[in-house]
Amino acid sequence: MPQHNKKPHREFEPDVVVVGSGAGGGMAAYVLTKAGVKVLILEAGRDYDPLADSAMLKWNHEAPLRAAPTPDKDFGYYDATVGGGWSVPGEPYTSAPGSTFRWWRARMLGGRTNHWGRHVPRFGPYDFKPYTRDGLGMDWPLSYEDMAPYYDRTEKLVGVIGTNSGLENHPDSSPGVLLPSPKPRATELMIQAAANDLGIPCVPSRYAVLSRAIDHPHAPRQACFNASSCGRGCGIGAAFQSTTSLLPMAMGTGKLRITTNATVSLVVTDERGRAKGVEYFDKDGASHVVRARVVVLAASACDTAKILLNSRDGGLANSSGEVGRNLMDTTGTNIAGHIPALENRPRYNEDGMDVAHLYIPFWLYKEQAAGKLDFPRGYHYEIGGRFGMPGAGSPLGGVEDGYGLSLKEDARRYYGAQLSFTVRGEMIPNTDSFCELDPDVKDKYGMPVLRFHWKWSQHEIRQIAHGIKSARDMIHRLGGTVTTPDIPPERAISDGGFIIHELGTTRMGDKAGNSVTDSFGKSWDVDNLVIADGSVFTSNAHKNPTLTIMALAWRSMDHLAARLRKGEV
């Protein structure tokens, strides 16, 4: 961020200290500073500028190991994530016996918005009232109608490609909100033909990538130039990330300061239990305290829970006992197929906007309501298949055989002849899945770390089984061969945390007894503590959470700004 202000925060007395600079923290800073509130962001990682730091058009052969994933760069050499991935040095986490949980973290300005998938479907009316619909989990203390204006505003601000499809529980955006969709690839059109033949919808996808430039004095962003993987970070600002959008816009108000390399350990409270500020460690391990009228936590679901649990015995804002509970991820599995009809197909540039241009949303709400399915809630497919940039992986997609001239012929024949169906489904919170402080292990700052407990229920296992079967049906309808091993759903389902959609650890609810915050992310117990990240989710619809994190944060910050204006806090 060129406008980054490196002045020490001592010269600046913030009204609000925001912990984290990703989707939630970036949006919190944007909304509050626009309302005239002075904000200090504390970010655990280093400063990061996608323009200078990303490697958008480098070839895989220019990188070590053809850019293959390694424990240093879990998603490959060019992935934007800095200082993290599945492990952060000096900041371990543990899994309880019998549990497997994986926790992806970044240590950089903008957090995980620098490399995320940018897939931004809206939650629908059913998704905010899941208990009402099927008696499982808990309803949110707000409705789709409360959220709709914030979805519109957020989509307009961050820039979202898409087309209104009018499908059940997949809400349309207001007119003029969405940006034009790119044309589908041949592979996607093929999947669409098979899906529609089987009664499955396949519609233009919604991604936070610009197909038109956004002209903003502090955050000018270019339209996508149809090249480079979004996960590398977007130096032209087309793919949304906090660092090229929310943060520079907030900085442009003159009301924001950012301190990087500041790892918040706890919320400091006074004798009445109100938040006074936060304690953080700088990169040399020295601790500092920052005071503010209000503390906003947006450190990510699990780090926010960790901060609260470490803030005092039994956890701050935890009269309900729900902090760290109700931990959810998204279910995931992948089904791939080899399609003879795609062999030796004519070449053209299939990079497009990198993201999938078509999408298969959940389509069985009526059957589910009629009791015809053996699982509750939905899933979707993120579809794939293209002439991708060759790198550390065979272009033959798993059907390689032999050697010599025939192998080279096979490479030409089979390149781009694979299709993939990535299942992403809703998980219902359960009492076996939560995080707590590990009684023994501490991080490099001496703070207890998180210990994860994890178990999928039969709801998720049966849903994955259905997702596998429908994907196999589509591959077979195309005359293809499934190349993914046929393993039972309880083994095919991803590990907890692996889809990187951790949510729910400080859920919102309609009363103090069953939840940590109200519908504005305000702690029931601590009047001047607000939570603005995915930890407040009451449920985790199959729809990727980042859009909803930002829309909720906007709504909560509007509420907070009004309270500040009225002197209520």
Partner 1 sequence: MTAEISRRVTLAWIAAAASSALATAGCESVPAAAPASAPMSPASLWKDLALSPVVAPGYGQDPDLNKPVIPWPLTLDGQQRETLRIAADLMLPADAHSPSGGTLHLDAFVDEWVSAPYPQQRADRSLVLAGLSWLDAESMHRFGPDFAHAGDAQRREIFDLVAFRKNVQPGYGRPAQFFARLRGLMLSGFYSLPEGIADIGYMGNNPSLGLYPGPTEEALAHLNASLTKLGLKAV
The minimum distance between CB 290 and partner 1, in angstroms, equals 26
Q: Hey, what's the torsion of the CAs at 245, 249, 250, 251, to 10 degrees?
A: 110
Q: How open is the CA angle 346-349-350, to the nearest 5 degrees?
A: 90
The answer to the question of residue 268 lying near partner 1 (CB under 8 A) is: no
The minimum distance between CB 465 and partner 1, in angstroms, equals 26
The answer to the question of residue 57 lying near partner 1 (CB under 8 A) is: yes
The minimum distance between CB 393 and partner 1, in angstroms, equals 6
Residues 255-268 as b or e (16 or more Cβ within 10 Å = b): bbbbbbbbbbbbbb
The minimum distance between CB 360 and partner 1, in angstroms, equals 16
The answer to the question of residue 402 lying near partner 1 (CB under 8 A) is: yes
The minimum distance between CB 416 and partner 1, in angstroms, equals 9
The answer to the question of residue 186 lying near partner 1 (CB under 8 A) is: yes
The answer to the question of residue 444 lying near partner 1 (CB under 8 A) is: no
Stretch that binds partner 1, among 72-80, 90-98, 501-509, 522-530 (CB under 8 A): 72-80
Cα–Cα distance measured from residue 18 to residue 26, given in angstroms and rounded to the nearest whole number: 9
Cα–Cα distance measured from residue 426 to residue 419, given in angstroms and rounded to the nearest whole number: 23
Of 411-430, binders to partner 1 (CB under 8 A) are 411-412, 415
The answer to the question of residue 92 lying near partner 1 (CB under 8 A) is: no
User: In the set 8, 227, 314, 469, which binds partner 1 (CB under 8 A)?
Assistant: 227
User: In the set 25, 376, 395, 545, which binds partner 1 (CB under 8 A)?
Assistant: 395
Q: Which is nearer to partner 1, 80 or 327 (CB)?
A: 80
Q: Which is nearer to partner 1, 289 or 389 (CB)?
A: 389
Residues in the chain, overall count: 569
Residue 105: DSSP 8-state: B
The answer to the question of residue 403 lying near partner 1 (CB under 8 A) is: yes
* Binding-residue total with partner 1 (CB under 8 A): 83
Cα–Cα distance measured from residue 188 to residue 172, given in angstroms and rounded to the nearest whole number: 22
Of 511-540, binders to partner 1 (CB under 8 A) are none
User: In the set 3, 5, 60, 483, which binds partner 1 (CB under 8 A)?
Assistant: 60
**Cβ(294)–Cβ(275) under 8 Å?**
yes
The answer to the question of residue 431 lying near partner 1 (CB under 8 A) is: no
The answer to the question of residue 449 lying near partner 1 (CB under 8 A) is: no
The answer to the question of residue 90 lying near partner 1 (CB under 8 A) is: no
Of 131-170, binders to partner 1 (CB under 8 A) are none
222: Cβ contacts below 8 Å, ≥ 6 apart: 210, 213, 236, 237, 238
Cα–Cα distance measured from residue 250 to residue 27, given in angstroms and rounded to the nearest whole number: 9
What are the φ/ψ torsions at residue 304 (nearest 5 degrees)? -65, -45
Q: Which is nearer to partner 1, 63 or 449 (CB)?
A: 63
Cα–Cα distance measured from residue 268 to residue 162, given in angstroms and rounded to the nearest whole number: 44
Q: Which is nearer to partner 1, 357 or 543 (CB)?
A: 357
Residue 232: DSSP 8-state: G
Q: Which is nearer to partner 1, 414 or 454 (CB)?
A: 414
Return the SS3 of 379.
strand
Binding mask 340-379 for partner 1 (x = CB under 8 A): -xx--xxxxxxxxx---x----------------------
Of 470-489, binders to partner 1 (CB under 8 A) are 477-479
Distances (CA, A) of 251 to 115, 219, 229, 420, 564: 22, 10, 27, 41, 20
Residue 389: DSSP 8-state: P
User: In the set 149, 287, 314, 389, which binds partner 1 (CB under 8 A)?
Assistant: 389
Which tokens go with 465?
């089984």
Q: Which is nearer to partner 1, 46 or 276 (CB)?
A: 46
Cα–Cα distance measured from residue 147 to residue 122, given in angstroms and rounded to the nearest whole number: 10
Stretch that binds partner 1, among 73-81, 329-337, 444-452, 485-493 (CB under 8 A): 73-81
> Sheet holding 418-425: strands in order across?
203-204, 358-360, 379-384, 418-425, 331-338, 481-482
Stretch that binds partner 1, among 189-197, 266-274, 523-531, 533-541 (CB under 8 A): 189-197
Whole-number CA gyration radius for the chain: 23
Cα–Cα distance measured from residue 21 to residue 37, given in angstroms and rounded to the nearest whole number: 16
The answer to the question of residue 315 lying near partner 1 (CB under 8 A) is: no
Q: Which is nearer to partner 1, 55 or 268 (CB)?
A: 55
User: In the set 89, 199, 217, 371, which binds partner 1 (CB under 8 A)?
Assistant: 89
